[in-house]
Structure 1
């Protein structure tokens, strides 16, 4: 099923955003089991997040959580209740699979099942090399030194006055 929006022009003019466009197209197409189980997405602070899924009737052995290539997959498989004669069955016991797209550098740090709620904790861990850093003026390796230009020529460090004169 195609989405209502055509992403082809964007795919042709961008590099590395294929996963984003695939995610947008998949979410626009809709999936039949989207409402079960219900969940909450919580931002605990700027870098910590939590997903709460209502999984009443499932125990720890029946739930599987997998983080793989920027995607979190939570699935539950429940066996049949044999020997029980239900008069009314209102608690859903069907199997489920929920998929959550994770941004780059989001790591799943833990999960816990308590009182029918599955809590999955995540943290954004940005590598030091990608964090913004302030560069102080005049702290370069060659600051204030003559630089070898080649063929025996040397360049003097230019002061602001010399830079303005040559401009």
Structure 2
């Protein structure tokens, strides 16, 4: 397997060193083929994950977010007492686990199961501190201290 070095990117960026781990884990991860799913962008700050969960009941689903990692899983279903002999079994009813790394400020807004499709809606909510702000040049020191505006050329 080829190794990718992100060292040139770190020369001009601060605080992005965790991306190296992110890319390494993404390259090392095996592709998940069950269950099939879609990842949709539904606007500037809205996303949706749609998972084909045929035959899965709401009570069998587990959706969790831990440290920016969204995990959708379902335990293996037990047969309801009937011992069936399948002549052909094309509908998979096995346990699954899907994991999605969420960017900062992405939150799960809700989930619904309808017609065998699990919809997980996500939204990006930027706090005021993360939104763009104007930086004043050569501002008065009192104004800088009271408004948290950074002045170029001044020392803290």
TM-score range, shorter chain: 0.7 to 0.9
User: Residues 58 and 78 of structure 1 are in contact (CA less than 8 Å); yes or no, is this contact kept in structure 2?
Assistant: no
Provide the secondary structure at the position in 1 that maps to 2:71.
strand
Secondary structure class of the residue paired with 1:27? helix
Pairing of 1:59-138 with structure 2 (within 5 A): 59-81=57-79, 82-134=82-134
Describe the shift of the 1:21–1:53 C-alpha distance in structure 2 as closer, same or farther (beyond 3 A): same
TM-score computed with the length of structure 1 as normaliser: 0.71
Q: Residues 19 and 96 from structure 1, CA distance in 2 versus in 1: closer, same or farther, beyond 3 angstroms? A: farther
Contact map agreement 1:112 1:118 (CA 8 A) in 2: yes
Q: CA RMSD in A?
A: 2.9
TM-score by length of 2: 0.76
1:147 match: none
Length, aligned pairs only: 140
Structure 2: distance between partners of 1:126 and 1:17: 18
**Structure 1 residues not aligned, in runs of 5+:** 144-167
Name the counterpart of 2:25: 26
In the TM superposition, what whole-angstrom CA distance separates every residue of 1:1-28 from its partner, at most 9, and x where no partner exists? Answer: xx52243746986764344222211221
The CA deviation at 1:80 is: 2.8
- What is the alpha-carbon distance in structure 1 between the residues aligned to residue 92 and residue 98 of structure 2? 15
Q: Which residues of structure 2 form unaligned runs of 5+? A: 144-156
Q: Secondary structure at the match of 2:94?
A: coil
Equivalent residue number for residue 147 of structure 2: none
Displacement of 1:29: 1.9
Which of the pair has more CA radius of gyration?
Answer: 1
Partner deviation per Cα, 1:15-59 (whole Å, 9 max, x = no partner): 643442222112212326x11111111111101110001111111
Once residues 8 and 125 of structure 1 are traced to their aligned partners in structure 2, the CA distance between those partners, rounded to angstroms, is 28
Check conservation: 2:10, 2:16, Cα contact below 8 A. Answer: no
Corresponding position of 2:150: none
Distance 2:17 2:132 in 1: 26
Alignment map for 1:140-155 (pairs within 5 Å): none
